[in-house]
Structure 1
């Protein structure tokens, strides 16, 4: 088991505001790079770096001195996303692209705007790991859409909604079995969060599950209009499309 917590990051303190500002800078820099002559190479390289860091971070939490059954198992949505997002950049598969887009710009926002960052052993390392990974999986979908020209389709919307409900079911099952709170689907976070807007548990789980489909639809609609789809080519599987001026990927 893990040692007791030794601290907690203050939300909207100097360090929080600094990393949010750096995230905005990273978005601007990487979108410009993705649109440049070497955009394919740069974004793929970033995907590999993110994937390596994500795997190392997971392994670090599995070390005997760090392991905690409530934190170390890969059942938080962010655990899945930090693997899926780099795979989207490296493989350009449609399923990874749409999940990076929907999850990175919705659920991941809670981790950025109302982080529940608790320090256990090495605050500097835990701070760096938390923010690099959560900021990166926000940057990735922005780069995919506005930098590389990928577009979710209505089939991708349905897949994203189904995958989200599937993850909620997995997290609820794991929490019931182990007495954990992965994904905050079994009880709210210990600090104020965006979930507070949707009522107490379990109603916020029900409300979010009902709302996420329409929210994903709003994120899909601007890209799925006939005018926007002009000049794009479908990826295999039909979950996403891409501007035909860029190299199509798989799905």
Structure 2
């Protein structure tokens, strides 16, 4: 099934929101920034609930397809928590790296079997595009810099989770994260070799992408002490001076 035009219109709208929100957070800081983050968090949380509830309501729930175990599903919950609690550095790092690697790849090569205006269409768009919006809001809008060692932390967590999920797929016959079989539609995995070798190739590609995403912050970390989540206070209040670190109450 070809990707409907409505999907790319929705993706374009999400990209416009991402750019506008990032610019607004930087140029017009204030208390509204906190509420923008909580609005993103609430939207992502609602999408996660719909993902779990929809198969139950429609009568199509199954262990193989309906559990929120794919990395994008986990990233959805992590991104919601990070936007609500931007002071939690690990949540921000996971949202940033997962959002701009796996989730962004899913946005560009969607495994979507339905079109507009099916509920699953909205669920997919809001969940995946929303994670990317959250990642950019936290790192670009709030200027929360990933800490030293973030690549190693995120890669280790990702590999450990993939190992757990691979065992789960083997025991249940599921295919979460496409660890048991390739996706139905074309994706980055399509050019990384046959199963199971694409899992190894994808791990290498993921590590390279994490390093590239971390690259813009290396110089700033050398020039000044790591500030991490403390910096978001400057975006929340226009009265905070650049040299003063303030956490919101």
TM-score normalized with structure 2 length = 0.84
Query: How far apart are 1:32 and its partner, in Å?
Result: 3.0
| Rounded Cα–Cα distance in structure 1 between residues aligned with 2:218 and 2:157 | 20
Aligned to 1:238: none
Aligned to 1:212: 206
Contact 2:11 2:125 in 1 (8 A): no
Q: Which has the higher helix share?
A: 2
Are residues 1:73 and 2:67 paired?
Answer: yes
Query: How far apart are 1:23 and its partner, in Å?
Result: 1.6
TM-score normalized with structure 1 length = 0.84
| Rounded Cα–Cα distance in structure 2 between residues aligned with 1:249 and 1:100 | 21
Aligned to 1:28: 19
| Rounded Cα–Cα distance in structure 2 between residues aligned with 1:139 and 1:96 | 15
98, 101, 111: which one aligns with 1:116? 111
| Rounded Cα–Cα distance in structure 1 between residues aligned with 2:233 and 2:33 | 15
| Rounded Cα–Cα distance in structure 1 between residues aligned with 2:223 and 2:92 | 17
Change (3 A) 1:82 1:62: farther
Q: Which has the higher strand share?
A: 1
Are residues 1:242 and 2:231 paired?
Answer: yes
SS at match of 2:181: coil
Contact 1:231 1:243 in 2 (8 A): no
Contact 1:151 1:224 in 2 (8 A): no
Contact 1:233 1:248 in 2 (8 A): no
| Rounded Cα–Cα distance in structure 2 between residues aligned with 1:200 and 1:248 | 51
Aligned length: 235
Query: How far apart are 1:22 and its partner, in Å?
Result: 1.1
Aligned to 1:198: 192
Query: How far apart are 1:213 and its partner, in Å?
Result: 2.2
**For residues 89-141 of structure 1, what are the alpha-carbon distances to aligned partners after superposition, in whole Å with 9 as ceiling and x for unaligned?**
10111111011111100111222111111249x96111111101111001111
Unaligned 5+ segments in structure 1 are: 1-7, 236-240
- Aligned-residue RMSD, C-alpha: 2.5
Change (3 A) 1:161 1:52: same
**For residues 75-102 of structure 1, what are the alpha-carbon distances to aligned partners after superposition, in whole Å with 9 as ceiling and x for unaligned?**
1111101100011110111111011111
| Rounded Cα–Cα distance in structure 2 between residues aligned with 1:181 and 1:32 | 39
Aligned to 2:172: 178
Contact 1:150 1:243 in 2 (8 A): yes
Query: How far apart are 1:232 and its partner, in Å?
Result: 5.5
Alignment of 1:111-150 (within 5 A): 111-119=106-114, 124-150=118-144
